[in-house]
Amino acid sequence: MQRAVFGGSFDPPHLAHLLVAAYVLGAQPIERLLVTPTAAHPFGKRLASFEHRLRMCELAFAPLRQVELCAIEGQLPEPNLTLHTLQALAEQHRGVQLRFVLGSDLRAETAGWHDFTSICALAPPLWVARQGHPGAAGEPALPDISSSEIRRRLAAAEPTAGLLAHAVAEYIRAHGLYSLSSD
């Protein structure tokens, strides 16, 4: 039995995140995908509240019944590291092989991660190709949609059609997230 861990800021969760989840669930022998938003960015980047990002993830991933929202990072001491999250999840999911979902754009950054070797031993990576970043031969590259570009567009009142799930876009609008006046 395998479960995959898909972590990130999800600020906001967008359609490429949903495509990654669907791809992993469809292409790999994964029973459940644990979507795990970070409580606080490891490099101090300002994020929408953890509660808002959790709710947006619930809305974004709702169509995929094998996805489970995991709020464990809200319970771990800050600053949190990926290794600590995976260790806590391994403790909760004893007897289950964890896999760690990573975009191919992160390959070059892993040397700077805390103990990436232990991360790989605990939850071997499932690399997902992103446009502009090579993956395995023949592996489809998923669209390169950026949360920071979506936040920029929202702050500038520019369209985000085709980038966000409708329910997420409505939630953002209803709560005034990412607008220049919300800072």
Asked if residues 5 and 34 have their Cβ atoms less than 8 Å apart, the reply is: yes
CATH of domain 2-142: 3.40.50.620
Per-residue pLDDT tens over the stretch 86-128: 999 999 999 999 999 998 888 888 888 899 999 999 999 999 9
Q: What is the pTM of this model?
A: 0.92
Asked if residues 112 and 77 have their Cβ atoms less than 8 Å apart, the reply is: no
> In this structure, what DSSP letter does residue 27 have?
H
Domain ranges of the chain: 2-142
Q: Phi and psi for 62 in degrees, rounded to 5?
A: -55, -35
| DSSP string for 36-49 | EE-SS-TT----S-
Of the candidate ranges 73-82, 133-142, 165-174, the one whose mean pLDDT is the lowest: 133-142
Positive/negative CA dihedral, 115, 120, 126, 132: positive
Per-residue pLDDT tens over the stretch 13-51: 999 999 999 999 999 999 999 999 999 877 778 899 999
3-state DSSP assignment of residue 8: strand
